[in-house]
A = this chain, B = another copy of it.
Amino acid sequence: MGKQTETTIYDIARQLNIAASTVSRALNNNPIVSKTTRKLIERTAQELGYRPNIMAANFRTKRTKTIGVILPLINRHFFSSVISGIEDIAYKNGFAVTISQSNDNFEKETKIAQTFYSNRVDGIIVSMGMQTKSYEHLRLFSEKKVPLVFFDRVADSIPAHKIVVDDYSGGYRATEHLIENGGKKIAHIGGPLNLKIYQDRLEGFKDAMSKSGLPVDESMLIHNSLTRSDGTNAIKRLMQNPQKPDAIFCANDTTALSAIIYLREKGIKVPQDILIVGFSNEPFSEVVTPSISTIRQPGFEMGQKAADLLITEIKSKGNTLPFQKIVMPTELIIRESSVR
């Protein structure tokens, strides 16, 4: 049975025989209004069931108190953890969070960026899609001084804050661990190399190998999109190789899982015959048999940090701080798949 028309600050002003501007000031906690009128206004607002029209305020102030988030896929544990962390901090600071998934599709990513821009989000947080090789669609934001924070899949060439995990040392530690457990012919199932994170994991892998004097066999390096079926194809190919691997460093847990399941079907034992380490610490990794050794990425904390940096940037309008690259520590979690 709601009223047809919304209460505005004018209604409150009329009721109290004061100016709308005073009402506006009171409702925005402007200390200049007297205590008595403020109380009066607050009570009347309550009585009339006043709800601020944020759209009008946004329009006027050119701020939306909204953060846009672009990421490849919502429905993935790491990403949803990050979202959760972003939402946590945003909420505490009175910001809304708008989320769109690119599905690793470059066109969609571009369109989302444009929509966010047109919607005048106060800032955006981005993790790029696997296809993304050009950054024109994001340049709009840096040009117009809309704060932008990257996480995980970052564009090195764009000046912006970046939150990443230490992919290099993650890759290094994972490989080192495989070597410590007897791995000699170690394969790597990696992601597309246009993304820095996969370059870094690969570099870590290579450096750990050469540190131990082990050769990197190019035929044992596979790069794909790291889906479940990509993983299955990769492990198949590796096992057809005349030089079969005795250990595999997978750039995510999904492909590690593919490998484990494929090898199980073929009667090849993990970790006895082949050692495996994944990356990301997906929830299933702990409970699969054998449980998957992996590199933990603090998704929730990364989201918090990203939101925190972005909001700081938004609040310090224009006085852009020097861009930071925050490298969150990774942690090797040793489970069954890599220990003989």
Contact = CB atoms under 8 A, between A and B. Distances in A.
Contact of A119 (B54, B59, B80, B81): B54
A257 B75 contact: no
B74 A83 contact: yes
A101 interface: yes
Interface in A178-218: none
Contacts of A81: 75
A28 interface: no
Contacts of A84: 73-75, 101
Oligomeric state, in copies: 2
Contacts of A159: none
Interface in A226-240: none
B66 A75 contact: no
Contact of A144 (B2, B55, B289): B2
B96 A119 contact: yes
Nearest to A141: B2
A120 interface: yes
Nearest to A63: B55
Interface stretch (A40-48, A147-155, A280-288, A305-313): A280-288
Contacts of A56: 59
17 contacts: A53-B59, A55-B58, A55-B62, A55-B119, A74-B87, A76-B80, A77-B283, A83-B99, A84-B101, A96-B98, A96-B115, A99-B99, A257-B287, A261-B287, A284-B287, A288-B289, A289-B289
Give me the 5 closest cross-chain CB pairs, A-B, nearest first.
A289-B289, A284-B284, A2-B143, A75-B84, A80-B80
